[in-house]
Amino acid sequence: MVRKKVVLRREEILDATVEQIKQRGIATTRVTDVASALGVSSGLIYYHFATKEQLIEATFTHAVRLELDEARAVLSRPAPALTRMKALLRLYSPTAKAAPGWRLWIDGYSAGLRDKGLRTVMEAMDEEWKRIFTSLIGEGMERGEFHCPDAHAATWRITLFLDGLAVPMVARRGALRKDEAAAWMREHTAATLGIDARALGPGR
């Protein structure tokens, strides 16, 4: 194998680690796997990250930050809250093409049971997602578009439902039809927000 004689950016290492985790899982991904994929020595990876644990934590933060940047862009659009909610659901929902890396999240939750550092990172990223949902729901309530008593509670109800849908859709592919799950998502979200489920139908 020809080694790259260049100084890698942290982002390149993190992107490569994401792909290795998707293929191998967090538990079995080694620093040598990432180095091999990049065509560099393991020493170069360790130059940026002292341990595998630090590499995994930084990788998860990197991957989720990209999702959160998209979500914040949706939140800041000059559009009705309902329109932005539909876009946010497309980003978050496991039924959507633009859904986040649910395999990474589920693997991370499992590994986080034994890795306090990773668990702390995941909790922080999850809280950021919830802040975005809560902000949008609160805005929709103020505008009279959503009719629910508590934006924070509504956020938890919606995200917990979607998190629960993600597990069988990722771990047991084919066990649940995507169109059926999407319909349940719209019904549950609409009931939580106090709106007609048809308002959350396909379309921008």
Domain span(s) for CATH 1.10.357.10 in the chain: 57-200
pLDDT tens column, 22-56: 888 888 899 999 999 999 889 989 989 999 999 99
Q: CATH assignment of 57-200?
A: 1.10.357.10
Does residue 146 surpass a pLDDT of 70?
A: yes
Does residue 170 surpass a pLDDT of 90?
A: no
Domain span(s) for CATH 1.10.10.60 in the chain: 1-50
pLDDT tens column, 9-31: 888 999 999 999 888 888 889 99
Report CA-CA distances (Å) from 20 to 26, 41, 56, 70, 137. Answer: 8, 16, 11, 23, 36
If DSSP codes are grouped into helix, strand and coil, which group holds residue 41? coil
Q: How many CB atoms lie within 10 A of CB 59?
A: 26
By residue count, the chain amounts to 204
pTM for the structure as a whole: 0.83
Does residue 1 surpass a pLDDT of 60?
A: no
> Across residues 119-130, what is the average pLDDT?
92
Q: CATH assignment of 1-50?
A: 1.10.10.60
Half-sphere exposure of 181 (CA within 13 A, CB side): 22
Cβ partners under 8 Å of residue 51, min gap 6: none
Does residue 160 surpass a pLDDT of 60?
A: yes
